[in-house]
Amino acid sequence: MWRQLLLVFVIITGAGCATLKVAGDDAQKSQWRLVYANDEQGEPVDGSKAALIDAVRDGKPVRVYTRGRRVEHAADAQFLTIFEGEVFAQLTPIEAQQPETDPARVLFRNPGQKWRSIVGTNGFVTAFMDGRDPNERNGATRWFVED
């Protein structure tokens, strides 16, 4: 009886270790890397726009980093468009935020009010909050791809 219990314990423990090892291997393989960066005018700063387009065509996850007047954002691209040799990323809508200073903090705006944005490799950025008109500006963007 004890031998059978010991055997079951060894099998369960070994399976758990094998599962942890596989999860660990997957975590090491999944890495984000900078593929392309553009300045506010859409000029290349780093990487390759062709490599970004290839990644989009291959269905790889894309994440973008942008910088506003006072805040910086990083977000997963929810919907990607290749148009006229440019890539446009529609970001997942979020609950609208309001940054405040003294002390530095970020609060939610009106409950249920969403913020939406599209950024492009040509420096185009458009964003709006529910109930407001969209605004457009130029912005630098860094484009990351998950391998």
What would the pLDDT profile of 107-121 be if each residue is shown by its tens digit?
Answer: 888 888 899 999 999
Is the bond preceding 99 in cis, omega lying within 30 degrees of 0? Answer: no
Are 38 and 70 members of one domain? yes
Contacts of 53-59 with C-beta under 8 Å, sequence gap 24+, read: 53/82, 53/87, 55/145, 56/80, 56/82, 56/87, 57/82
Are 23 and 44 members of one domain? no
Query: Does the pLDDT at position 99 exceed 70?
Result: yes
Q: Indicate the number of domains in the chain.
A: 2
For residue 20, what are the domain limits?
1-30
Are 49 and 98 members of one domain? yes
Are 7 and 69 members of one domain? no
Average pLDDT over residues 78-93: 96
Measured between alpha carbons, how far is 64 from 78 in angstroms, rounded to an integer?
Answer: 11
Measured between its terminal Cα atoms, the distance across the chain in Å is 48
Are 10 and 74 members of one domain? no
Are 8 and 77 members of one domain? no
Residue 119: other Cβ atoms inside 10 A: 26
